[in-house]
Structure 1
Amino acid sequence: MADLSWALHNFVVAAAELDVALGRRLRLSPGDYLAMKHLMTSEQALGPVELGALVGLTSGSATGLVDRLERAGHVRRHRDPHDRRRLILEPTESALAAAAEELRPLDDALRRLADRFTGDERATIERFLREATGLYRAFSRPRDAGATR
């Protein structure tokens, strides 16, 4: 298990290095890129407060982040259709297209790599990565006083 754990750790480090490189290519600071990455990959709608919490900002700083991303044409705000008091953030089409363009060579290489595995192997790899992602997310949540992992 130690080899698998280290392989995953090295993968996560390489992914962080990729994030820094992509942020530079897209002319975003590391923090702004991290915010955009959350907006592009979140399974639920995010507002400024939720986005700020994900990147470790206060609500005031999160507002500044969103203002900056909106001025740069990366994000647009709109009212939540279920709660008109709440703002929802979404990446613009141009931001999504720019990220996709930068990631296309990597996506192609990953597709070729995946083709080297059987369907059953890919299913096992995917299951492992999904479950490991859940563990990483759980481990990154704030600890409750007295809680154990």
Structure 2
Amino acid sequence: MANLQLGRELSARTLMFHAAIAEKVRLSATEHKALDLLSRAGALTAGQLAELTGLTTGAITGLVDRLEKIGFVRRERDPSDRRKVMIYPNLEKMEREIAPLFASMSQQMQTLLSRYSEQELAVIQSFVSQSIAVLQEETKNLQSPSSSHSPTS
């Protein structure tokens, strides 16, 4: 049980850290993390971003409108399929405005990781990868119309 409590604490601290980063650049936490997903993908359609985030396409439209207005993304028609609109992250702006906010954290995490053996790091990587898979699956379950998870159940 203590391990589950530790996981909850890590989750809460991670969420609060990213909320603080988002606030520094005048984004919501959701906008910040959607932008992170987009930056790792390179370019996505609104539908693809909705699927990755679990947000509705309507919510994604508003989110992308806000990110585009402040210069973090741009929309362009897909040259191979003019019906598709691709959303591209402004990596230069992200590097200039967001990346420096992670410098101290990155340095501290590198120091922390250096304390572990390759074997220990492999176990940690396995745990984190499997945790991500569980979170993705549980998020999908919560978003499905037939979800049995509800505040009253």
TM-score normalised by the chain length of structure 1: 0.81
Cα 1:7–1:87 shift into 2, 3 Å: same
In structure 2, what is the Cα distance between the partners aligned to 1:119 and 1:131?
A: 18
Q: 103-112 vs 71-80, which deviates more?
A: 71-80
Which stretches in structure 1 are left out of the alignment for 5+ residues? Answer: none
Counterparts of 1:27-46 in structure 2 under 5 Å?
Answer: 27-41=26-40, 43=41, 45-46=43-44
1:122 and 2:111 correspond: no
Summarize deviations over 1:6-43 as a string: whole Å, max 9, x none: 222211111110111001111213332232233234x5
SS of the residue corresponding to residue 86 of structure 1 reads strand
Summarize deviations over 1:42-100 as a string: whole Å, max 9, x none: x58432233345253442x4323212211211012233455442222221023330222
1:145 and 2:143 correspond: no
Contact 2:54/2:139 (<8 A) preserved? no
Which stretches in structure 2 are left out of the alignment for 5+ residues? Answer: none
In structure 2, the residue matched to 1:8 is 7
In structure 2, what is the Cα distance between the partners aligned to 1:112 and 1:84?
A: 47
How far residue 147 of structure 1 moved from its aligned partner, in angstroms, is: 8.0
In structure 2, what is the Cα distance between the partners aligned to 1:32 and 1:138?
A: 21
In structure 1, the residue matched to 2:130 is 131
SS of the residue corresponding to residue 13 of structure 1 reads helix
Q: How many percent identity over aligned positions?
A: 25
- Give the counterpart of 2:85 among 84, 87, 96: 87
- Give the counterpart of 1:75 among 67, 70, 73: 73
Cα 1:124–1:88 shift into 2, 3 Å: same
Aligned length: 145
Contact 1:39/1:91 (<8 A) preserved? yes
SS of the residue corresponding to residue 98 of structure 2 reads helix
TM-score normalised by the chain length of structure 2: 0.79
Report the aligned-residue RMSD: 2.6
In structure 2, what is the Cα distance between the partners aligned to 1:143 and 1:131?
A: 21
Code of the aligned partner of 1:39: L
Contact 2:46/2:57 (<8 A) preserved? no
Cα 1:130–1:82 shift into 2, 3 Å: farther
